[in-house]
A and B are shown apart, each in its own frame.
Chain A
Amino acid sequence: MATTIETKGNALTYETIEAEAGLKAALAMSRADLVDFVRDSDLKGRGGAGFPTGMKWGFCAAEKADQKYIICNADEGEPGTFKDRVILTRFADLVFEGMTIGGRAIGASLGIIYLRAEYTYLRPHLNEVIQARRGAGLLGHNILGVEGFDFDILVAMGAGAYVCGEETALIESLEGFRGEPRNRPPFPVVAGLLNNPTVVNNVETLASVAAIFAKGTDWFKTFGTDKSTGYKLFSISGDCEKPGVYEFPWGITLASLLEEVGGTGAKAVQIGGASGVCVPARDFTRALAFEDIPTGGSVMVIGADRDILDVAENFLDFFVEESCGQCTPCRLGNVQMLEAVKLLKKGECPPEFLAAVKDLGGTMQVASKCGLGQTSPSAFLSILEGFDDEIANRAPSA
């Protein structure tokens, strides 16, 4: 354990996965079968975007190049998300096992884990685990005796930039540049790190890959819904009795989740962090799943006594700070939205200004290059929609 700080929650499936069972199963298959196996599991990216992992690996495997990379995205910066910290603390081997399987599948000999600067205290632990894996023949040359299968993993550090969780910004950062997202295409699977084909997967995605190879795709599909297979780790915080990291199958309703964590009576739940949406209590029958409310797992419970505009203000403060500044709608739009929230709090926001800002939010969603800009208005717009009564009926302050 790299840190003695323990996060509570419920029992995690990762605890039941036999060490290296996934890697051994994978090494008994052909390379092409590895991609098909992941495709068959219907695993979707656990970072939030939900791109099918098997498809991503398939694109990269099809590229012809001397050098390819698999990157583990451990730049867990979405506000309210901390499940990757717990996975890296308790199940780092599983993550590296997943990376090794990925390296085999796409034909990469090097894996890099990009760890956010705020988690620097985890770095010695990760290096120890990597070193132990080298010693055990699980990394290095001819892994587990498989002739010609060479793969190693390095830890690279971020330096404090939320936008670097976006995969092309992350790659820019690894190359020693400002973490500004690239235009796509080309996608990283074609031209990523140093222009080589690169797969970027979230920490939890890679741990799940190892679990799927250990237990099989049929097992994985027994969890979740038709369109969202498997289980998911949720980072639950805010106004509830038992915050922590919880595993639930996809498809759980917000009402059941709140019951589990002692958060009944909440007036709203913010799903997906600052870039996510605010769901009012009347919609707690909705489910967490790719086909309903998709999420990377951040769940912030908002208690009955909170001012919903404080929530909007907190997130917009965050985006004003974290916008990389490349795209004008995002750079300036978030400042305007923050201004609107401040006026709304005072009961002094002219309706025309509010309408203009809503319109601007729509522009930001379509005219920003990366996910940060596209999603930054989401929380505010969902709050305006869901809490019209609370906002509109505010008396002007003296």
Chain B
Amino acid sequence: MATTTLKQEQLRTDVEALVEKLGPGRSSLIPILTDVKRRFHEVDSESMQTIADVLDIHPVEVYSVASFYAFLHGAPEGQFVIRLCGTLSCDFAGKDAVADALKNELGVGFDESTDDGLFTLEWASCVGMCDQGPALLVNDQVHTRVTPETAREIVAACRAAAAAEEG
């Protein structure tokens, strides 16, 4: 419990700082959720309560918004969220082979996360790279003309980046 409390105190300070910057209005909710998600890779119920307190709205309002948006849903996600475009043009370009390569390489299916907390695999609605599919996003970065081979390289690069970060 002690660590959770510490996290919530830190979160409260951070959210208050964001509200200071963005304004106290309800409009700040989505930027706040985006920021919390980016840093903690989840928005748990205590975080929702904290955000609600700072914005002076009911926590269910926070949940309602978080659960609506594909990029904000509260469930825990890996450090790297891989979103493979599922749209027709990427489908024609061979997205299924890339999907299989990612599932095999990561050992998880879509809408699942790896046990080490590094990866979450998801489908994306069109990512706007239809002229050079198959395309995928790794967090904010876009990769195009992905093949099963380059998909494995992308995963390897993420693993290397995470290892380097740990020292």
Contact = CB atoms under 8 A, between A and B. Distances in A.
A binds B: yes
B70 A178 contact: no
Nearest to B28: A176
Size class of the contact patch on chain B: 35 or more
Contacts of A317: 86
Contacts of B28: 176
A322 B125 contact: yes
B27 interface: yes
B48 interface: no
B33 interface: yes
Interface residues of A, number: 56
A80 interface: yes
B33 A306 contact: no
Contacts of B141: 121
A119 B128 contact: yes
Contacts of A3: 142
A161 interface: yes
A81 B26 contact: no
A179 B91 CA distance: 27
B131 A82 contact: yes
Given A161-B68, A177-B26, A245 B86 contact: no
Given A117-B71, A159-B70, A315-B88, A300 B130 contact: yes
Nearest to A82: B128
Given A79-B87, A311-B88, A314-B87, A159 B130 contact: no
Nearest to B133: A237
Contacts of A270: 88
B131 A7 contact: yes
**Max count, chain A CB within 10 A of own CB: residue among B65, B126, B133:** B126
Contacts of B64: 178
B8 interface: no
Q: Which of B128, B129, B132, B142 has the most CB of A within 10 A?
A: B128
Contacts of A76: 128
A64 B144 CA distance: 48
Nearest to B127: A118
Interface string A48-91: 00000000000000000000000000001111111011000000
Nearest to A163: B68
A93 interface: no
B127 to A, nearest CB: 5
Given A121-B142, A176-B25, A82 B130 contact: yes
A174 B27 contact: yes
A95 to B, nearest CB: 16
A168 B68 CA distance: 16
Interface in B114-159: 123-133, 137, 140-142, 144
Contacts of B130: 79-82, 235, 237-238, 243, 300
Given A176-B25, A235-B131, A318 B69 contact: no
A247 to B, nearest CB: 15
B166 to A, nearest CB: 25
B81 to A, nearest CB: 11
A202 interface: no
Given A118-B127, A119-B128, A80 B142 contact: no
Contacts of B71: 117, 159-160
A5 B140 CA distance: 14
B25 to A, nearest CB: 7
A175 interface: yes
B149 to A, nearest CB: 19
Contacts of A175: 26-27
Interface centre among A85, A117, A315 (most CB of B within 10 A): A117
B125 A121 contact: no
Interface of B: 25-31, 33-34, 64-65, 68-72, 83, 86-89, 91-92, 123-133, 137, 140-142, 144
Interface of A: 3, 5, 7-8, 76-82, 84-85, 116-121, 156-162, 173-179, 235-239, 243-245, 270, 273-274, 300, 303, 306, 310-311, 314-315, 317-318, 321-322, 324
Given A85-B129, A243-B130, 19 more contacts: A5-B144, A7-B132, A79-B126, A80-B88, A117-B69, A121-B140, A156-B31, A176-B28, A176-B30, A178-B68, A235-B131, A236-B131, A238-B88, A243-B132, A311-B88, A314-B91, A315-B88, A318-B87, A318-B125
